Amino acid sequence: MRTRIVLIAGVIIALIGGAYAWKEYNRTAKDAGAMQEVLTVSAHELQREFRANEQAANAKYVGTTDQAIKVKGMIRAIEPAEEGRTNVLLDSGEENSAVVCEFSADALPKSWAAGQNVFLKGICTGVNDLIPDVILVRCSAVE
């Protein structure tokens, strides 16, 4: 009888542990919409600061933990990205670079189009080494 109770308890613990592991494995990071923004900046200013002093801009905008920044800019283009995501490229004032804002499929407003001025929140990850674009991830629209 005692062996049977231990066996049943072991199976229940294994099932609960397996369910928790499955939930954690499939968990995705939430977008920046629910986060309080620490700074507000224009796309032009953000790009200019990274060009002038990347180390100082990283310290200011990237931070050591996830911190959302609010960015205002004009949409240069909207392009599909990896894994069903969409990149919104904000005009940075420079022809060969942009502020690239990555949205999940459900976070991008359907009404957004090139040439439109928008506000958004995202988490800055710094500058892309290959192309001088400033990258924001987990973005959400700000009304």
Q: How many domains does the chain have?
A: 2
Q: Are 107 and 141 in contact (CB under 8 A)?
A: yes
Q: How far apart are CA 14 and CA 20, in angstroms?
A: 10
Convert the pLDDT of each residue in 34-87 to its tens digit: 788 889 999 999 999 999 999 999 999 997 667 899 999 999 999 998 888 999
* CB neighbour class for 8 (10 Å; exposed up to 12, middle 13-18, buried from 19): exposed
123 pLDDT above the threshold of 90: yes
Residue 86 structural domain: 32-142
Residues 12 and 77 placed together within one structural domain of the fold: no
Residues 73 and 41 placed together within one structural domain of the fold: yes
Residues 66 and 37 placed together within one structural domain of the fold: yes
**pLDDT (average), residues 19-41:** 76
Residues 25 and 42 placed together within one structural domain of the fold: no
DSSP state, 21?
H
Residues 71 and 52 placed together within one structural domain of the fold: yes
Residues 122 and 98 placed together within one structural domain of the fold: yes
Q: Are 31 and 140 in contact (CB under 8 A)?
A: yes
DSSP state, 123?
E
Residues 58 and 126 placed together within one structural domain of the fold: yes
